[in-house]
Chain A
Amino acid sequence: MLISKLKVFKSHGKQYIPNLLDVTLAERFRGRPVVSPNVDEKTVEELVQLCPVEAISKVPLSLDLGKCVFCGECQFQYPQAINFTNDYRIATCRREDLIVTSDIKKAIPFDPQFVNSYITKYFGRSLKLRQVCAGGDNSSEMELNASMNVNFDFSRYGIEFVASPRHADGVVITGPITKSMEAPLQMCFEAIADPKIIIVVGADAISGGVFANSSAISRDFFNLNKPNLWIPGNPMHPMTFIDGVLSLIGRAKRNENE
């Protein structure tokens, strides 16, 4: 009994990532895209047609990370126009910063001056979050769980998921917000004491993703409440979440000149 436990223990070894601020993901991971500055009109037109979620717009050619489902098809067919890098630092505090043009060469902007000062003041050293899945497909949810697992161990920063909105400082939303979840989500958010924050995770939640035109979803929650952090992905990578939250509470800086 004990011997079999020791075996598991020995093989397990050390699993945690020592420095969460310095991680490089697999080469093929699709994170921040680079949009080429000189793409001819015909290609732009074809790209706009190709994208399944209308994430690509023309004049100037731009890619909206809030809509993109990271299928990579634009890159496969037009590698001269769009290329995804493995830079996972793509969360932003303003919705408009998710729109990538050819001007964005190094990093997706995250300017702390757009973050309310109460966030760093109150939540900088301890942030408790309530997760609400409102039509998510269980991949973003699993990645949120993974950010707390033995590898990422995000709770080392005092950031944790809690079981009740009464214990929470903010809500993390996944899924396009189904009509049936609209009321429970609003109720949960209202049950959180002020000051509080909203974190929106994944293409589904940010823009509706592939379900944007469905009659079964309702986006009214976002007319009533304003998110503080947008985290793109399909699903988002745990590192994107970790970097985004740390940037929001002022414990990580995104260097645009990197």
Chain B
Amino acid sequence: MSWLRLKNCGKAINLDQIPNIEYPEFYQNLVEMLEDENFHIADYFGYSTTEGLKLIAIILDDKNSDILIAEHTYHYYCEDSLLSITAKCEAMHPFERDITERYGIVFKNNPWNKPLRFLANRFDKRMIIEKYPFYQISGETLHEVNVGPIHAGIIEPGAFRFTCNGEKVLHLEVALGYQHRGVEEVMCSTKSTLKQNIIAENIAGDSAVSNAIAYSTNIEKLSANLNNNSKQLNTERAIAQEMERIAMHIADTGALCGDIGYQLGQVACEALRTITINTTQMWCGNRFGKSIIRPCGTNFPLNNEICSEIKKNMSDVLKRYDEIRQNIKNTPSVIARFEACGTVDRNIALHIGAVGVCAKASGLLRDIRATHPYGEYKNMNHVPIIKTYGDVMSRLTIRCREVLQSIEYVLSLVDKIDTSIVQSRPIYNNNLMQNAISVSIVEGWRGEICHTAITNSQGEICCYKVKDPSIHNWLALSLAVRGEGISDFPICNKSFSLSYCGHDL
């Protein structure tokens, strides 16, 4: 197999280094690799050039910590329609749907050829979101329930269509795209690194730090004449990212408790999340960590005062969160709702290419911090927490234990900070490599986030691709609620806690 192997912490490469292969081989390779559980798809997208449309696939080899990359050049007018890989491997569905929606290339035998996010510059403008082709089942005892796009609470929009048999859900289909703001297009329409950095922070505000790390790393990889980041900068980034994980996992624990009417758990978690994000605010002035991460340097080096505040607050959260965790485990009425509900078994998780918390709860080791470590994680020997049942309780347990694990990480990382070191300021005017491609993958709290940047002959970013973990995991939610009572939908949904804006971009 001629695929190029890269490392997550390596430099960018020239575009012409990507092996270009014919479609039958490309197809065969992908199908074979994705059948093996040591491989999974990270991203697959089209990139339009004068030679034709390049279809670039990025595969992760979890065993060898490699990133595999290859491309096929599709010639619009002189090539037959391409065989759908989704037909063999469900994990490919969002990527093929995106390519079809964007460029009008229909994959032969694609079993689920529907628009993905109703892009503003989609190929077929007659497809409108109001007319999303929901799958329908008819029968005298069946009825449909439509929810959205605007939901009852303060959350993002998306349309959910349930087909129910009495109280039981037979099928759920989620139509997304309401949040589409044109992130990738706006990224390339500006030359300002600062602006791109801020756009990255706004891809999903709840994952601002993770997305900004993925973006900044790409800029650093593309800056050929640049030294490696200082060790301290990497440590600070890891602290910021783990604090984001802690805050969001606590928020989701609270939301799950709230959904089953367990108020004590809910309010106690709300208070702990406030402490965590206020600590981030004390560090950088923003509760979501927007502005902490910048390319090649930082505007907010940690000082003694902030370090000791982080330590004090995180130790407090550790103790109190552990009490909540024990209490959840000790309360039968809570467990009764969470256990054996919304189950995604290992096989399904594997087939749909699940990542992050959802995969780990179903017994799959999918954690970039362990399989493809970057930055400070290279020195940390992170051991992911894995559960096997794949139900709401497992996903909650993963969150609970990751909070404790992440707090331990933060506490030990803060100890390594030497506040006497003077850190460099961010650099926004780097000369980027020309005609190059850079892939950067980080483990956000939801799962792996993959950013790909391609530069043109002037060294400007001309194509920027973002993959949020939710792209893989939305299908898991649909499958999890099958056979459950429709009233269990809220806790199933919260247990995945997926991003709408990250999906829709």
Chain A residues close to B by CB (< 8 Å): 1, 4-5, 7-9, 11-12, 15, 25-30, 50, 52-53, 69-73, 76, 84, 131-146, 149-151, 161, 163-164, 175-176, 178-181, 183-184, 188, 204, 209-211, 213-217, 234-235, 237
Contacts and interface: CB of A to CB of B under 8 A. Distances in A.
B285 A216 contact: no
A71 B199 CA distance: 11
B326 interface: yes
Given A214-B185, A215-B185, A150 B178 contact: no
A176 B181 contact: yes
Nearest to A161: B154
A148 to B, nearest CB: 9
Contact of A12 (B129, B182, B268, B326): B268
Given A69-B198, A137-B205, A204-B202, A132 B268 contact: no
Interface stretch (B58-66, B78-86, B145-153): B145-153
B327 interface: yes
B155 interface: yes
Contact of B264 (A9, A135, A183, A214): A9
B501 A136 contact: yes
B339 to A, nearest CB: 16
Nearest to B277: A146
Given A5-B327, A149-B270, A181-B149, A73 B120 contact: no
B194 A71 contact: yes
Given A139-B205, A139-B206, A53 B155 contact: no
Contact of A210 (B157, B179, B202, B332): B202
A209 B182 CA distance: 13
Contacts of B396: none
B44 interface: no
B260 to A, nearest CB: 15
A112 B155 CA distance: 31
A8 B274 contact: no
A178 B205 contact: no
B213 interface: no
A138 B503 CA distance: 12
B204 interface: yes
B447 to A, nearest CB: 16
A175 B202 CA distance: 11
A26 to B, nearest CB: 5
Given A12-B268, A137-B202, A176-B181, A72 B157 contact: no
Interface stretch (B105-113, B231-239, B287-295, B478-486): B287-295
Interface of B: 118-121, 129-130, 149-150, 152-157, 177-183, 185-186, 189-190, 192, 194-195, 198-199, 202-206, 208, 251, 264-265, 267-268, 270-271, 274, 278, 281-288, 290-291, 299-300, 319-320, 323-324, 326-327, 330-332, 425, 499-501, 504
A149 B258 CA distance: 11
Contact of A184 (B178, B180, B425): B178
Given A53-B195, A184-B149, A138 B206 contact: yes
Nearest to A204: B202
Contact of A8 (B121, B324, B425): B324
Contact of B129 (A4, A146, A180): A180
Contacts of A210: 186, 195, 198-199, 202
Contact of A211 (B186, B205, B251, B281): B186
B114 to A, nearest CB: 15
Tell me which of A53, A131, A136, A145 has the highest count of chain B C-beta atoms within 10 A of its own C-beta.
Answer: A136
Given A150-B271, A215-B182, 4 more contacts: A12-B267, A26-B281, A29-B281, A133-B179
A166 B500 CA distance: 25
Contacts of B278: 26
Contacts of A7: 323, 326-327
Given A135-B179, A216-B185, A15 B271 contact: yes
Given A150-B267, A180-B178, A217-B182, A133 B155 contact: yes
A211 B184 CA distance: 11
A141 B154 contact: yes
A181 B149 CA distance: 8
